[in-house]
């Protein structure tokens, strides 16, 4: 009996010591993580495919999750040290193209990394994004979604002719929805319009199951709504200045006009942006800008 109790106590003490040790190890790991997190990939995708034997799918999953964790980790560490909103170029995610290339080389039929790359890479390196999606098309020639993503990259680059041609090429594939052909035509006619952009993001949202893509689309749709809203607010501000000969002192003075435009207004009369953060009066009340704490992307 005494022996059992002694063993039990020893077990609990040992367990407690091991917990303390793990915490000590974790605290050291947090300090060293950023340094190792950005370590380049020493194995080429071709070699990795050879070495993975029959487990290349599993290795592709590993690199895919690592891509997500890599970007997620960068966002978390940026948010820990900054208060303002960020763009991808602020995050220094230089390892992302290699991680995505590795994942797609290990499993060329795995579509989410191509999709993720098409959404994120154009901001960093559009050539890399185009190369990644083109390799996806070469490996999955019947996937119209990859044409949709390639069209999106060209649209972002402002190359509406190529975007239109890509959408049109994707539209000819079996199973491609009718709106692919319509998007091809629209890109040619008014590729630079906000309505075209809104339509494209809506289709991206509908055709993707990827949470990160959906989040990105949500942010971009917020940005488009913000541009529309700020344009409308600017018109009101211009009208106010013309009428009163001075710029606005307080949002309260035009709160009714803003409500008439179906804009959401807070208790102080300030209009709320699509992320429900109040807009800011800038240039001595002559213009409207985004608050630094907004979730709406600045570009």
Instruction: Please report, as ranges, the residues that interact with other proteins according to CB under 8 A.
Output: 50, 53-58, 60-61, 64-65, 68-69, 107, 109-110, 112, 116, 209-212
CB nearer to other proteins: give 1 or 54: 54
Write down the least CB distance from residue 265 to other proteins, Å: 37
DSSP string, 180-221: HHHHHHHHHHHTTSHHHHHHHHHHHHHH---HHHHHHHHHHH
What are the φ/ψ torsions at residue 88 (nearest 5 degrees)?
Answer: -65, -35
CB nearer to other proteins: give 27 or 209: 209
Write down the least CB distance from residue 69 to other proteins, Å: 7
Cα 194 vs. chain centroid, distance in angstroms?
19
Q: Is 55 helix (H, G, I), strand (E, B) or coil?
A: coil
Write down the least CB distance from residue 39 to other proteins, Å: 20
Write down the least CB distance from residue 68 to other proteins, Å: 5
Q: What Å distances lie between residue 296 and 84, 187, 203, 221, CA to CA? A: 11, 25, 20, 9
Q: How many Cβ atoms from other residues are within 10 Å of residue 218's Cβ?
A: 15
CB nearer to other proteins: give 102 or 265: 102
What are the φ/ψ torsions at residue 2 (nearest 5 degrees)?
Answer: -60, -40
Write down the least CB distance from residue 24 to other proteins, Å: 26
CB nearer to other proteins: give 64 or 240: 64
CB nearer to other proteins: give 66 or 162: 66
Tell me how far apart the alpha carbons of residues 264 and 274 are, in angstroms, rounded to a whole number: 9
Write down the least CB distance from residue 65 to other proteins, Å: 5
Write down the least CB distance from residue 103 to other proteins, Å: 11
CB nearer to other proteins: give 55 or 193: 55
CB nearer to other proteins: give 45 or 269: 45
Tell me how far apart the alpha carbons of residues 200 and 180 are, in angstroms, rounded to a whole number: 10
Tell me how far apart the alpha carbons of residues 106 and 5 are, in angstroms, rounded to a whole number: 53
Write down the least CB distance from residue 202 to other proteins, Å: 19
CB nearer to other proteins: give 60 or 146: 60
DSSP string, 217-241: HHHHHHHHHHHHHHHHHHHHHHHHH
Q: What burial letters (b/e) apply to 57-95, b meaning 16+ CB within 10 Å?
A: eebbebbbebbbebbebbeeeeeeeeeebeebeebebeb
Cα 144 vs. chain centroid, distance in angstroms?
21
Are 104 and 71 in contact, with CB atoms under 8 Å apart?
no
């Amino acid at each position: 009996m005494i022996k059992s109790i002694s063993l039990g106590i020893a077990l609990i003490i040992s367990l407690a010591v091991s917990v303390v040790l793990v915490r000590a190890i974790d605290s050291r790991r947090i300090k060293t993580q950023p340094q190792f997190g950005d370590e380049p990939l020493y194995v080429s995708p071709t070699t990795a495919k050879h070495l993975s034997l029959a487990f290349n799918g599993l290795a592709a999953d590993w690199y895919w999750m690592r891509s997500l964790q890599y970007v997620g980790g960068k966002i978390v560490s940026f948010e820990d040290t900054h208060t303002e909103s960020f763009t991808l170029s602020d995050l220094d995610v230089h390892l992302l193209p290699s991680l995505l290339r590795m994942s797609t080389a290990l499993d060329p039929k795995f579509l989410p990394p191509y999709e993720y790359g098409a959404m994120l890479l154009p901001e960093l390196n559009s050539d890399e994004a185009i190369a990644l999606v083109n390799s996806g098309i070469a490996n999955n020639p019947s996937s119209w979604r990859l044409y949709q993503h390639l069209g999106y990259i060209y649209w972002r680059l402002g190359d509406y002719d190529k975007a239109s041609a890509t959408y049109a090429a994707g539209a000819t594939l079996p199973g491609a929805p009718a709106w692919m052909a319509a998007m091809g035509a629209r890109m040619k006619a008014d590729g630079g319009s906000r309505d075209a952009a809104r339509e494209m993001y809506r289709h991206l949202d509908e055709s993707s199951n990827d949470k990160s893509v959906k989040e990105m689309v949500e942010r971009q749709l917020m940005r488009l709504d913000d541009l529309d809203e700020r344009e409308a607010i600017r018109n009101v501000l211009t009208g106010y200045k013309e009428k009163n000969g001075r710029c606005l002192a307080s949002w309260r003075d035009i709160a009714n006009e803003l409500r008439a435009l179906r804009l959401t207004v807070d208790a102080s009369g300030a209009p709320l942006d699509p992320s429900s953060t109040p807009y800011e009066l800038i240039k001595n009340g002559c213009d409207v800008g985004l608050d630094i704490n907004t979730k709406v992307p600045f570009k």
